């Protein structure tokens, strides 16, 4: 079943007025439509004499056009990155300078996009390096606190292994909780 509206196909011919179109050209504008549906709709429009078909020879594909483009406005220029570039229309011979302007405008736009991308990447890298420096600062500060405030546990001669373990655990446990909280905070912050 053909789900494609004939008006959608005709809109493509109006949009690309004065140029002959192949099924590939039409499919470019109707990218969400099935190519078989496009072909069926174009064939129906040809049998209704709304479109004219020109048979392709060899590797040249069949192409289609409206019988008349009278009273159909057409664009003489297209805009690429704010630069007007002349369209190549049916029966025109592309002028070399038109093609040069087209490629120059593409190159200019590509260069501006690359520049914008580099600025974004550079800003992100600076942000990452700043975060790393902050992390190292916090880590060194915590390590300094641990070294400064943890006293050596005095071991009473004759104490059992479990007594020494319990005393060391009681002294180090608060610091372990603080470090675990720090690691958890870093995980939330960066992941």
pLDDT > 90: percent of the chain: 23
Q: Which of 80, 7, 81 is nearest to 41 (CA)?
A: 7
User: Tell me: the pLDDT tens digits for 12-32?
Assistant: 999 988 888 999 999 999 988
Report the CATH number that the domain containing residue 41 is assigned in CATH.
1.10.10.10
End position of a domain, from candidates 128, 146, 172: 128
User: Tell me: the pLDDT tens digits for 77-101?
Assistant: 887 667 777 777 877 777 787 778 7
Local structure of 52: helix, strand or coil: strand
Q: Does 95 lie in the same domain as 44? A: no
Provide the number of structural domains found in the chain: 3
Q: Does 121 lie in the same domain as 152? A: no
**Token couple for 108:** 């200019």
* Averaged pLDDT score across all residues of the chain: 82
Q: Does 9 lie in the same domain as 53? A: yes
Q: Does 69 lie in the same domain as 95? A: no
Q: Does 2 lie in the same domain as 69? A: yes
**pLDDT band at residue 45 using 50, 70 and 90 as cut-offs:** very high
User: Tell me: the pLDDT tens digits for 57-80?
Assistant: 887 889 899 999 888 888 888 876
User: Tell me: the pLDDT tens digits for 101-123?
Assistant: 778 878 888 888 899 999 999 99
Q: Does 133 lie in the same domain as 104? A: no
Q: Does 95 lie in the same domain as 34? A: no
Q: Does 82 lie in the same domain as 68? A: no
Whole-Å CA distances, 74 to 51, 69, 183: 17, 9, 64
End position of a domain, from candidates 113, 128, 143: 128
Does the reported pTM lie above 0.85? Answer: no
Q: Does 167 lie in the same domain as 110? A: no
Q: Does 70 lie in the same domain as 4? A: yes
Helix H or strand E encompassing 77: strand 77-80
pLDDT at 139 over 60: yes
The single residue listed with the structure tokens 């196909």 is 9
State residue 148's pLDDT score: 67
Helix H or strand E encompassing 177: helix 161-190
Rank 28-37, 70-79, 137-146, 173-182 by mean pLDDT and report only the highest. Answer: 28-37
Q: Does 185 lie in the same domain as 141? A: yes
End position of a domain, from candidates 108, 128, 148: 128
State residue 177's pLDDT score: 80
Q: Does 70 lie in the same domain as 18? A: yes
Name the DSSP letter for residue 22.
-
* Domain boundaries, position 11: 1-74
């Amino acid at each position: 079943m053909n789900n494609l509206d004939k008006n959608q196909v005709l809109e493509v011919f109006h949009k690309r007025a004065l140029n002959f179109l192949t099924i590939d050209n039409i499919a470019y504008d109707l990218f969400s439509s099935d190519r078989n549906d496009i072909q069926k709709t174009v064939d129906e429009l040809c049998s209704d004499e709304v479109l004219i078909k020109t048979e392709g020879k060899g590797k040249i594909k069949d192409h289609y056009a409206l019988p008349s483009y009278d009273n159909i406005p057409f664009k003489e220029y297209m805009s690429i990155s704010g630069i007007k570039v002349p369209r190549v229309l049916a029966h025109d011979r592309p002028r070399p300078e038109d093609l040069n302007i087209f490629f120059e405008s593409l190159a200019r736009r590509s260069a501006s996009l690359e520049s914008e991308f580099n600025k974004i990447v550079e800003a992100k890298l600076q942000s990452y390096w700043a975060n790393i420096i902050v992390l190292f600062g916090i880590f060194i500060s915590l390590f300094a606190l641990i070294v400064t405030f943890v006293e050596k546990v005095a071991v009473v001669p004759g104490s059992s292994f479990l007594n020494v373990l319990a005393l060391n655990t009681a002294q180090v446990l608060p610091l372990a909780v603080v470090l675990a909280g720090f690691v958890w905070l870093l995980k939330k912050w960066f992941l």
